Amino acid sequence: MRPVDILRTGAGGLRSRRARVVLSALGIAIGIATMVAVIGLSLSSRADLLAQLDRLGTNLLTIQAGKTALGEDAKLPKQAVAMVRAVGPVQQATATGDVDASVRRSDVVPQERTAGVAVQAARLDLLRALGGRVRSGTWLTTAGERLPTTVLGAVAAERLGVLGPGEKILIGDRWFVVVGVLAPVELVPELDRVALVGFTAAQHHLGFDGHPTMIFERSRDDAVAAVRDVLARTVSPGSPEVVKISRPSDALAARAATDEGMTTLMLGLGAVALLVGGVGVANTMIISVLERRQEIGLRRALGARKGDIRLQFLTESLLLSALGGGAGAALGAVATAAFALVQGWTPVIPLWSIGGAVAATLAVGVLAGLYPAARAARLHPTTALNAA
């Protein structure tokens, strides 16, 4: 038989049982769609994380004081930022400091009702060092550093009900004018929940002692590890063990690793769905052989060889799997693109995942069709023609 005759015969067998073919192909489609979507979404998410890391940089280190040997809270020295800047490869160093003051929307709100918003003193170069941006209004300025002005984090503004610059909030017992609201700070999300005031204003109006609570440092990419090794001794030469150093970008890297693990799990689930679909195809083909014994006997009587019968049913199995695989690949690609766009990611649908889906589909088709095809080829023409 010519290849075109084999395809025509196989397709004819599928057209005669359309409902069963659709249901069998659905199992294959679900498995393939799951695998394509999982790969696409994982790569889209990881690409977004890597782009985020490239944008924010991996050279930011944070320095904060831990506990002393007696269990008391240690303090960073007031000149700690200057000490960090003295390290050769350091390019930027800035700081924030915790301020013991309540934040209220108005004086009718009890002092204990702070809406979960804390107060921190901030140096003027903080926003530039963190790669943050102001969503509305302005950042703290040199001229206004001594004045009772504040910039709210994104969450803090929402919790306090502040719509934008020009409004007033009560910090401690003094009214502060909101001059700006920050966009979410991706590397340091803790700043989303605070009211930031200038160091000088915090000292003059809120009793801030001037000790930084957290220092943010950026250095050359090739020197991050070396700088990390000397920061504790630089900031606290007498007791470096009380200084904690961390890299905020590690959290994003950990998310990428977690996504990779989840991808493996979901691919396993997709493979199980594909296996179930393959079992469904094999079951469909076996039933087809039983129902078409007279057709097989007639073809054998007219001169068809065992190999022709075997190839016919194997082709039907391949076409059935290919139908489900094609639909599944298309569905997976559409689902990936739609979900990625909703999440604000750049959709990534690698061609190798589509190629892998096609290869997996053909493999399932061959495996699912081998036994039914061999069983059909073994039927004796006389026995097949006499079948009820």
Whether 141 and 239 map to the same domain: the answer is yes
Number of Cβ within a 10 Å radius of residue 13: 20
pLDDT at position 25, please?
A: 78
Only one residue has tokens 């504040």, namely 150
pLDDT at position 7 over 60: yes
Whether 241 and 180 map to the same domain: the answer is yes
Higher pLDDT, 64 or 73: 64
pLDDT digits (tens, 9 = 90+) for 90-123: 999 999 999 999 999 888 877 777 778 999 999 9
Whether 378 and 362 map to the same domain: the answer is yes
Whether 196 and 237 map to the same domain: the answer is yes
Instruction: Taking the CA atoms of 48, 139, 76 and 217 in sequence, report the sign of the dihedral they define.
Output: positive
Higher pLDDT, 312 or 48: 312
Distance of alpha carbon 182 from alpha carbon 314, whole angstroms: 64
* Cα separation of the two ends of the chain: 28
Residues 317-331, mean pLDDT to the nearest whole number:
84
Whether 49 and 81 map to the same domain: the answer is no
Whether 240 and 216 map to the same domain: the answer is yes
Whether 155 and 12 map to the same domain: the answer is no
**At residue 70, what is the residue type?**
L
Q: Which of 225, 247, 269 is the last residue of a domain?
A: 247
pTM for the model stands at 0.60
Whether 75 and 182 map to the same domain: the answer is yes
Whether 365 and 281 map to the same domain: the answer is yes
**Confidence label for 57 from pLDDT (cuts 50, 70 and 90):** low
Whether 219 and 79 map to the same domain: the answer is yes
pLDDT digits (tens, 9 = 90+) for 237-255: 878 888 888 887 666 565 5
Domain that holds residue 12: 3-53+253-385
Picking from 18, 9, 4, 3, the residue whose alpha carbon sits closest to that of residue 309 is: 9
pLDDT at position 359 over 70: yes
Whether 10 and 126 map to the same domain: the answer is no
Whether 229 and 288 map to the same domain: the answer is no
Q: Which of 247, 281, 310 is the last residue of a domain?
A: 247
Q: Which of 213, 247, 281 is the last residue of a domain?
A: 247
Q: Could you give the number of structural domains in the chain?
A: 2
**Bridge partners of 134?**
182
pLDDT digits (tens, 9 = 90+) for 130-164: 888 999 999 999 887 889 999 999 999 999 999 88
